[in-house]
Amino acid sequence: MITSTAPLHERFRPKNFAEFVGNPKAVRVLQTACERGIGGRAVWISGGSGFGKTTLARIVASSIADPDFITEYDSADDVTAAELDRIRDTMRYFGGGRGGRAIIINEAHGLRKPVIRALLGVIERLPSHCVLIFTTTREGEQGLFEDQIDATPLLSRCIVVRLSNQGLAPLFAARAKQIAESVGLDGQPLSRYVKLANDNRSNMRAMLTAIESGAMVEP
């Protein structure tokens, strides 16, 4: 549960596709996939820090699984061969509520060669009640993984979406100002929020952290 004392980026994290700001094409791809049934599929989401990769991953996960049946790894370093065996075993069973299970692996570019190879088989045999979601800040296929393994076999088995910063600054600025106003931390015109977005390379998490520190309160 997110409390009123949680950081702004957690308190105001979008909970569904309608609330998500920016990258409409990527959102449309994922929303359509969820509406048609995301079970048995793997999803690969790439993009810069603070663009909303993890948020989208959680929205996709929640379309098939209840919170207690969503497992999220903050780093690929946590997904060892032994842990992957445990994941594979868990996926055999239906979850409660919606019945599905979801696995989110963040910073997926850190996956190691033995795990990547094993994942190919896991994805090929994903049960229809499970979805596997990867996020990464790295783009493209060349040099994607730290182990320098060819990314093509894995990506070819995934729904791949790439989040861009194109057009994000004004959208994030407007949303950040709304949030600042709602918590009494606003005292600047929209143009200052656009500058904040540009200064932080459209990293919404960094923008909200700055707002929390009083950056937009009128002196």
* 91 and 186 fall within a common domain: no
* 59 and 152 fall within a common domain: yes
In a domain, 181, yes or no: yes
Contact by Cβ (8 Å): 79, 46: no
Its domain, for residue 129, covers 8-162
* 204 and 128 fall within a common domain: no
At 81 the pLDDT is 92
**pTM higher than 0.85:** yes
In a domain, 129, yes or no: yes
Alpha carbon 165 to chain centroid, angstroms: 15
User: What CATH number should be reported for the domain holding residue 157?
Assistant: 3.40.50.300
The enclosing H or E element of 44 equals strand 41-46
| pLDDT tens per residue, range 89-146 | 999 999 888 899 999 999 999 999 999 999 999 999 999 999 999 999 998 777 888 8
In a domain, 177, yes or no: yes
* 156 and 176 fall within a common domain: no
| pLDDT tens per residue, range 137-174 | 998 777 888 888 889 999 999 999 999 999 999 999 99
* 23 and 50 fall within a common domain: yes
At 76 the pLDDT is 93
* 39 and 107 fall within a common domain: yes
- Overall domain count for the chain: 2
* 200 and 141 fall within a common domain: no
In a domain, 218, yes or no: no
* 157 and 109 fall within a common domain: yes
Contact by Cβ (8 Å): 20, 59: yes
* 181 and 137 fall within a common domain: no
pLDDT at 1 over 80: no
Question: For 68-92, b where at least 16 C-beta lie within 10 A, e where not — what string?
Answer: ebbbbbeebeebeeeebeebbeebe
